[in-house]
Chains A and B, each alone.
Chain A
Amino acid sequence: MLPKPLVAASLRPIILTLLARQPMYGYEIIQQVHTLSEGQIRWTPGKLYPLLHSHENTGLIEAFWQPSEEGPDRKYYRLTPRGQAALQQEKQSWLDLNALLVRLWGPEL
Chain B
Amino acid sequence: METPFNLATALATWRQFQARRQPMLEEDLDELEVHLRAHLSDLRRQGWGEEAAFREAVRALGDLEEAEAEYSRVYWGKLRRRQQLLTELQWRLSMFSNYVKIALRDLRRHKGYSFITIAGLSLGMACCLLLFQYVAFETSFDQFNTKKDRLYRATFEYTRGEGMEGISSSSVLAFGPIVAQEVPGIVRYTRILPTYGGVVLSNQGASETRTFTENHALFVDTTFFSMFDYPLVKGDRSQVLSNPHTMLISESMARKYFGDQEPLGKTLELSWWESGTYTIAGVMEDVPPTSHLRFDFLFPLSDLLDNEAFLADGGSWGPES
Chain A residues within CB distance 8 Å of chain B:
25-28, 44-47, 49-51, 53-54, 56-58, 68, 70-75
Query: Which partner residue on chain A sits nearest B71 by CB separation?
Result: A50
Give 1 or 0 for each of B15-42: 1 = CB within 8 Å of chain A CB. 0000000000001101111110111010
Q: CB distance B67 to A45 under 8 Å?
A: yes
Interface centre among B39, B41, B63, B70 (most CB of A within 10 A): B70
B62 at the interface (CB under 8 A from A): yes
Tell me the complex Cα distance, A27–B34, Å: 8
**Given A50-B67, A53-B77, A73 and B62 contact (CB-CB distance below 8 Å):** no
Query: Which partner residue on chain A sits nearest B79 by CB separation?
Result: A57
**Given A44-B61, A57-B74, A75-B27, A49 and B32 contact (CB-CB distance below 8 Å):** yes
Query: Which partner residue on chain B sits nearest A57 by CB separation?
Result: B77
Nearest chain A CB to B29's CB is how many angstroms away?
11
**Given A70-B37, A75-B27, A75-B31, A53 and B78 contact (CB-CB distance below 8 Å):** yes
Query: Which partner residue on chain B sits nearest A54 by CB separation?
Result: B74
B148 at the interface (CB under 8 A from A): no
**Given A27-B39, A46-B64, A75-B27, A57 and B71 contact (CB-CB distance below 8 Å):** no
A contact patch SS: helix
Contact with A57, one of B66, B67, B78 (Cβ below 8 angstroms): B78
Tell me the complex Cα distance, A56–B81, Å: 9
Q: CB distance B80 to A57 under 8 Å?
A: yes
Contact with B31, one of A26, A47, A57 (Cβ below 8 angstroms): A26
Contact with B34, one of A44, A47, A51, A74 (Cβ below 8 angstroms): A74
Nearest chain A CB to B50's CB is how many angstroms away?
15
Name 21 interchain pairs, CB-CB below 8 A, sorted by A.
A27-B34, A27-B38, A28-B38, A44-B67, A45-B32, A45-B61, A45-B67, A46-B63, A46-B70, A47-B62, A50-B70, A50-B71, A51-B70, A53-B77, A70-B37, A70-B41, A71-B37, A72-B30, A72-B33, A74-B34, A74-B38
**Given A44-B61, A56-B81, A26 and B35 contact (CB-CB distance below 8 Å):** yes
Tell me the complex Cα distance, A27–B39, Å: 7
Residues of B within 8 A of A54 (CB): 73-74, 77
Q: CB distance B35 to A45 under 8 Å?
A: yes
Tell me the complex Cα distance, A75–B28, Å: 10
Tell me the complex Cα distance, A51–B67, Å: 10
Nearest chain A CB to B24's CB is how many angstroms away?
10
Contact with B81, one of A28, A46, A57, A73 (Cβ below 8 angstroms): A57
Contact with A47, one of B38, B41, B67 (Cβ below 8 angstroms): B67
Q: CB distance A46 to B73 under 8 Å?
A: no
Nearest chain B CB to A23's CB is how many angstroms away?
14
Give 1 or 0 for each of B174-205: 1 = CB within 8 Å of chain A CB. 00000000000000000000000000000000
Q: CB distance A49 to B77 under 8 Å?
A: no
Residues of A within 8 A of B60 (CB): 44
Residues of B within 8 A of A57 (CB): 74, 77-78, 80-81
Residues of A within 8 A of B77 (CB): 53-54, 57-58
Residues of A within 8 A of B35 (CB): 26-27, 45, 49
Instruction: List 5 other contacts, CB 8 Å, given A50-B67, A71-B34.
Output: A26-B31, A44-B63, A45-B35, A49-B35, A72-B30
Query: Which partner residue on chain A sits nearest B39 by CB separation?
Result: A27
Residues of B within 8 A of A75 (CB): 27, 30-31, 34
Q: CB distance B70 to A47 under 8 Å?
A: yes
Q: CB distance B66 to A46 under 8 Å?
A: yes
Residues of B within 8 A of A49 (CB): 28, 31-32, 35, 67, 71
Residues of B within 8 A of A74 (CB): 34, 38
Tell me the complex Cα distance, A45–B35, Å: 8
